[in-house]
Structure 1
Amino acid sequence: MPGWCFVMKSEQRSPMQPDGFTAILDAGTRLQDATAAAEQPKETVSADKQTRNASELQTVLINRKVATLADLSAIDYDRCRQSEAKALGIRVSTLDVAVTKLRPCESPEADDGLEFLKDPDPWPEPVNGNDLLNDLIELFSTYLVLPRHGALVLALWVLHAHGLQAFFHSPRINIKSPEKGSGKTTCLDILAEVCPRALRLDSVTTATLFRLIDTYQPTMLIDEHDSFLRDNEALRGALNSGHRRGGIFPRCVGDDNTVKLFKVFAATVLAGIGDLPGTLVDRSITIDMKRALPDELKARYDSRKINDDLKRKAARWAADALPQLQDADPEVPRQLFNRVADNWRPLFAIAHVLGGSWEQHTRDAAVSLCMGDTDLESAGVSLLEDIKAYFGCNGPQIKSDNLVNHLSSLEHRPWPEWKKGKPITPRQIAVLLKPFRIMSKTIRFGDTTAKGYEKEAFLDAFSRYLGEPSVTPSQSSIDVASRDFGNVTPDSNVTDEKTGIPLVGAGCYAVTDENGGETGKQKRDKEVIEI
């Protein structure tokens, strides 16, 4: 066929391919489209896709990290939240919100590692309080070497922790020793077995403390306080605020610094070597422990031998006795006043509800443990008590030497062995009285003069620190501490008018008339009940 020329001689036709010139045009169009597609800038398409992929990958990684953080306990998350937010490039408050959304709930029942911080199941039957308290005393006495009355105080405090909602104050228990190996940690271990929602900590930050208390209301059992507490002013403040019901700890939270008030009222035990800071000592009942001799312990502590029966019985007793505890207004020894009385009042309320001899036992424990406290401030108040009683027996003026002799004869007081086993001196008395702005002076006694004190100089301190109204010099020199003497003939004992027990520091060894002559001799015996 002359005049025809085929361009694609080598093209293999398929049965479905169109014939003739139309096929050639279709092949050319496909080739042009393929060439145009090949000439598109591949780099631009690839960069956009990479950007989208990177963003999606980052979101996936953040979500995975948030999920991991949501599985942490409240304590572990609090420790790492700031560093994790910084690593993820987001605000801490944003991370908090994301983590909170992934948590099942924010309650003690949440599976966050603190599920044990829930109320114990109460004993199914009513519990005899006397038997319960005796069992608790026996528990502490078996595994610990405690000071006199120590087991009773710990047992009463455990019941106070179970009935905490009935009380306005919660005394801190200060378990201290001069050296390690004295049983402090064992004591905390035993308390953890019998206290409600017990949380044992060897260290704690301020932020962790107030968040834990606000969320879980645990019984705080803090060990090794000497390693972190003294130099932490904020932590001391939180523990101080938690001494009374309604105590709060304000803190700014979130990026917008919103003020939040955290509740910090909680039963707390602080164990360590040496003394607590002064403000916490005022809010504490101190249990001094010593290293046990080999034959002093009845048994070695083994947690496997302790079940939760005592904890459940204590929970039941406290629940049943709650109305009585709330209404209780127990008498406390007159020697205990202000914050010291606040510390002991919950224990006296429990003893009052239990009845029987428990009130007397608690009274003996309070007087014994409080009078054994010889820090400077407490010693100064104790000295005022004894001087006030001595003024009541000896008129408005006393000689310094006579006062020293009197104080040194009070066997139940710290003065006979004040420093290094030696009696207190006039100089040491002056040091203790100086904060009260009381100083000795030269006074005329009959035909002679001597260094001494006038009662008028003490009236303001008596009124402020002993809780007694001051009297003017024109009133009788026989004050309230010695009113049971009548004229000048003493009774065999000096007792509190309300409680009927001997007054610590109220004993008078000589009664003199207004001219300073001795007219009688007074001694008192103090009944001691061993616990």
Structure 2
Amino acid sequence: MTKPTSETPAEDGAALLDDVERFHRRFNVFPHEAAYVAVALWDAHAHLLDCFDSTPRIAFLSPEPGSGKSRALEVVETLVPRPMLAVNARAAALFRSVSDPAGRPTILYDEIDTVFGPKAGDNEELRGFLNAGHRRSGVTYRCIGDGGNQTVQEFPSYSAVAVAGLGSLPDTILTRSVIIRMRRRARNEKVEPFRARVHEQQGNALRERLATWAKSVQDRVAGAWPEMPDGVTDRPADVWEPLLAVADAIGGDWPQRAREACVTLVKAAQVNDKGSLGIRLLTDLRDHVMVGIDRLPTVAILDRLNALDDAPWADLNGRPLDARRLSRMLGEYVTADGQPIASRNIKTAGSVLKGFYTEDLWDAWARYCPPPSASPLLPLPDGADTD
């Protein structure tokens, strides 16, 4: 791998990434233009991993098989440094691979639904590895040795990871990922058949060009603080910062295309993000149950929640939401004065029932729930700004 000299001019980054994008387009049908931009930038960023404080995961997800997820990983495999295909690999094998003195791999984990899918149960060890490896400072601790001679050893976890699978992923991984929602090809969407013994060589040639280009820009990329598009902050900004830094180093129309892709994919992820079950509960209470009223007995809240279409409340692991679980879930959040949300007495005709007050929920609604799609006529708390 040669370093550019005066006799060998540096690679034109924009032309190179154009070639990488074209290579993907030959074999992959992604759901929109933003996905091609993001995937090509992700390929390039894997060659510059030590320039960043964090690395985004890229997740090819689909509701049904036959949507091109595995093919996307196959093409990525030809373009990234030291690719390591992992199907049903355990965390112990992965963190030892990342610690390999020969070099850090790029982990390509296919069929990730077999690890995190609804029938797989939790896999906290692998989840912890993937979460820790998002940051350059991330390490995994393990006891090494036998019996009483064990010592604690830390293993670096920082590595580029691409995953593919059916359904979704744990929120802790999704929020660290660029999400590509794959779908089956329509009849009018054509791609070339991917023939490994032919096309791997072509992809590997691009990989060598990416590696050479990366060496020529690594000092500039390491000190970069790319400007974020309006509205992209917090975790989405962490995810996209390395990709935008790469785009700025590439030049041409890639900085603009990268930021347009960033906005498109961040908004798409927010639309598909249903949040935790607790946030879903708060949102359903705000938008469907306690609209236009200032209090409601628990029994009425449960009736309304369990009657909602496309809501999980009537069947939570085979049982409907009950008063005890409702109180426990809401008790995880606090009122505006810092007290846990709790049921209170509500006087009704001839009796007193336990229930919840809108004023106790307002602060949690403002902090955790997404903006309502419409403006429900909720009673405002005392002193609320009506402008």
TM-score by length of 1: 0.50
Contact residue 109 and residue 162 of structure 2 kept, 8 A:
yes
Q: 1:246-261, aligned counterparts within 5 Å?
A: 246-255=137-146, 256-261=149-154
1:341 aligns with 2:237: yes
Which consecutive unaligned segments of at least 5 residues does structure 1 have? 1-119, 382-399, 402-418, 421-430, 440-452, 467-503, 506-514, 518-531
Aligned to 1:223: 110
**Which of 176, 183, 186 is the equivalent residue of 1:290?**
183
Q: Distance in 1 between matches of 2:276 and 2:30?
A: 22
Cα gap change, 1:122 to 1:287, in 2 (>3 Å): farther
Q: Give the alignment of 1:376-455 within 5 angstroms.
A: 376-377=274-275
Task: Give the aligned residue type for 2:82.
Answer: R
Cα shift at 1:359:
2.2
CA-based RMSD: 3.7
CA shift, 1:376, in A, is 2.0
1:438 is displaced (CA, Å) by 8.3
Query: Does residue 136 of the first structure (1) align with residue 136 of the second (2)?
Result: no
1:355 counterpart = 2:251: yes
TM-superposed deviation, 1:296 = 0.6
Q: Give the Cα separation in 1 of the matches to 2:12 and 2:244.
A: 18
Kept in 1, the 8 Å contact 2:91–2:126? The answer is yes
2:378 — aligned with what? Answer: none
Aligned residue identity for 1:292: R
CA deviation vs aligned residue, 1:138-183 (integer Å, no higher than 9, x gap):
1111211102111110100011000111011000111111111111
Which residue number corresponds to residue 75 of structure 2? Answer: 190
Aligned to 2:133: 242
Counterpart of 2:347 in structure 1 is: none
* 1:335 to partner: Cα distance: 2.0
CA distance in 2 between counterparts of 1:131 and 1:227 reads 38
**Pair 1:227–1:326, CA change in 2 (3 A):** same
**Cα deviation digits, residues 255-309 of structure 1 (max 9, x gap):** 1111110001000001111111111111111111111134312312222134222
Partner of residue 73, structure 1: none
**Distance in 1, Cα, partners of 2:42 & 2:9:** 22
* Deviation (angstroms), 1:322: 0.5
**Which residue of 170, 185, 200 corresponds with 2:85?**
200
**CA separation in 2, counterparts of 1:137 and 1:465?**
37
- Paired letter, 1:279: T
* Distance of aligned partners of 1:436 and 1:207 in 2 relative to their CA distance in 1, 3 Å threshold: same
Q: One-letter code of the match for 2:232?
A: L
State how far apart, in whole Å, the 2-side matches of 1:281 and 1:316 are: 31
Q: After the TM superposition, which residues 296-335 of structure 1 pair with which residues of structure 2 at under 5 Å, given as runs? A: 296-303=189-196, 304-306=198-200, 307=202, 308-335=204-231
Shift of the 438–355 alpha-carbon distance from structure 1 to 2, 3 Å rule, reads: farther
Quote the residue 1:40 is aligned against. Answer: none
Deviation of 1:321 (Å):
0.6
In the alignment, the residues of structure 2 paired with residue 309 and residue 318 of structure 1 have an alpha-carbon distance, to the nearest angstrom, of: 14
One of 5, 23, 30 as aligned partner of 1:146: 30
**Residue of structure 2 in register with 1:490 after alignment:** none
Contact 1:122 1:313 in 2 (8 A): no
Cα separation, partners in 2 of 1:312 and 1:333, compared to 1, 3 Å? same
Q: In the alignment, is residue 126 of structure 1 matched against residue 126 of structure 2? A: no
Structure 2: stretches of 5+ with no match in the other structure: 280-290, 293-308, 311-325, 337-357, 373-384
Choose which of 353, 361, 369 in structure 1 pairs with 2:265: 369
Q: Distance in 1 between matches of 2:20 and 2:276?
A: 30
Partner of 1:232: 123
Instruction: Determine helix, strand or coil for the equivalent of 2:265.
Output: helix
Structure 2 residue matching 1:199: 3-state secondary structure: strand
Q: 1:287 aligns to what SS in structure 2?
A: strand
8 Å contact from structure 1 (residues 250, 260) kept in 2: yes
Shift in alpha-carbon separation, 1:300–1:212, aligned structure 2, 3 A: same
Contact 1:436 1:461 in 2 (8 A): no
One-letter amino acid of the counterpart of residue 129, structure 1: G
Give the secondary-structure state (helix, strand or coil) at the position aligned to 1:133: helix
Q: 2:109, 2:163 within 8 Å by CA — same for their partners in 1?
A: yes
| Alignment correspondent of 1:163 | 48
Q: Which residue matches 2:57?
A: 172
CA gap 1:459/1:305 in 2 versus in 1, 3 angstroms: closer
- Give 2:108's aligned amino acid: L
The residue type equivalent to 1:138 in the other structure is R
- Spell out structure 1 runs of 4+ moving beyond 4 A: 120-125, 378-381, 434-439, 456-462
Report the CA distance shift for 1:189/1:322 in structure 2 as closer, same or farther (over 3 A).
Answer: same
2:172 is aligned with 1:279: yes
Matched residues in 2 for 1:205 and 1:459: separation? 38
What is the distance in 2 between the residues matched to 1:208 and 1:276?
A: 21
Identical columns (%): 34
Structure 2 contact 333–364 (Cα < 8 Å) conserved: no
Query: What is the SS of the residue equivalent to 1:295?
Result: coil
| 1:375 counterpart letter in structure 2 | D
Q: In the TM superposition, what is the alpha-carbon distance from 1:436 to its structure 2 partner?
A: 7.1
Mapped to 1, the partners of 2:30 and 2:369 lie a distance apart of: 31
Q: Which secondary structure state, in structure 2, belongs to the residue aligned with residue 164 of structure 1?
A: helix
After superposition, the C-alpha distances for 1:29-66 in whole angstroms (9 at most, x for unaligned) are: xxxxxxxxxxxxxxxxxxxxxxxxxxxxxxxxxxxxxx
Kept in 2, the 8 Å contact 1:169–1:243? The answer is yes
The 3 A distance-change label for structure 1 pair 143 and 228 is: same
**Offset, 1:334:** 3.5
> Cα deviations across residues 463-496 of structure 1 (Å, max 9, x unaligned)?
x999xxxxxxxxxxxxxxxxxxxxxxxxxxxxxx
Equivalent AA in structure 2 for residue 200 of structure 1: L
Q: Are the aligned partners of 2:60 and 2:163 in contact in 1 as well (CA < 8 Å)?
A: yes
In our comparison, the structure showing a higher alpha carbon Rg is 1
